[in-house]
Amino acid sequence: MFNFEYRNPTKIIFGKGQIATIAKEISPGTKVMLTCGGGSIKANGVHEQTMRALAGCEVIEFGGIEPNPEYETLMRAVELGRKEKVGLLLAAGGGSVLDGTKFIAAAIPFKGDEWDIVRKGAAVESATPLATILTLPATGSESNPFAVISRRGTGEKLAFSSDHCYPKFAVLDPETTYSLPRKQVANGIVDAFMHTMEQYLTFPVHAELNDRFAESILQTLIEVGPKTLADPNDHDARATFVWSATMALNGLIGCGVPQDWATHMIGHELTALYGIDHARTLAAVAPHLYRVCRENKAEKLQQYAKRVWGEESAEAGIRRTEEFFESLGVPTRLARYEGVQADTPALVVSRFEARGERKFGERGIVDLKAVEEILRRSLAA
- Binding residues for a copy of itself, total number by CB under 8 A: 43
Q: Contact between 138 and a copy of itself (CB under 8 A)?
A: no
Query: What does the alpha-carbon distance between residue 331 and residue 233 come to, in Å, rounded to a whole number?
Result: 25
Distance linking the first and last C-alpha atoms of the chain: 37
Among 68, 161, 219, 303, binds a copy of itself (CB under 8 A): 219
Q: Contact between 2 and a copy of itself (CB under 8 A)?
A: yes
Q: CB of residue 2 vs a copy of itself: minimum separation in angstroms?
A: 7
Name the segment binding a copy of itself (CB under 8 A); options: 36-44, 66-74, 241-249, 266-274: 241-249
**Which residue from 104, 192, 110 is spatially nearest to 149, judged by alpha carbons?**
104
Query: What does the alpha-carbon distance between residue 341 and residue 338 come to, in Å, rounded to a whole number?
Result: 9
Pick the closer one to a copy of itself by CB: 1 or 346: 1
Among 115, 146, 160, 243, binds a copy of itself (CB under 8 A): 243
Q: CB of residue 142 vs a copy of itself: minimum separation in angstroms?
A: 13
Determine contact, residues 94/139, Cβ cutoff 8 Å: yes
Pick the closer one to a copy of itself by CB: 218 or 292: 218
CA–CA distances in Å: residue 307 to residues 108, 202, 245? 47, 15, 20
Cβ neighbours of residue 231 under 8 Å, at least 6 residues apart? 237
Strands 359-360 and 366-367: antiparallel
Q: Contact between 362 and a copy of itself (CB under 8 A)?
A: no
Query: What does the alpha-carbon distance between residue 120 and residue 368 come to, in Å, rounded to a whole number?
Result: 25
Query: What does the alpha-carbon distance between residue 338 and residue 196 come to, in Å, rounded to a whole number?
Result: 28
Tell which positions 175-214 bind a copy of itself, by CB under 8 A: 206-210, 212-213
Name the segment binding a copy of itself (CB under 8 A); options: 99-107, 216-224, 334-342, 352-360: 216-224
Q: CB of residue 96 vs a copy of itself: minimum separation in angstroms?
A: 25
Q: CB of residue 192 vs a copy of itself: minimum separation in angstroms?
A: 11
Give the 3-state secondary structure of residue 32. strand
Query: What does the alpha-carbon distance between residue 259 and residue 201 come to, in Å, rounded to a whole number?
Result: 8
Residue ranges in contact with a copy of itself by CB under 8 A = 1-18, 169, 206-210, 212-213, 215-217, 219-220, 223-224, 236-237, 239-240, 243-244, 247, 252, 255-256
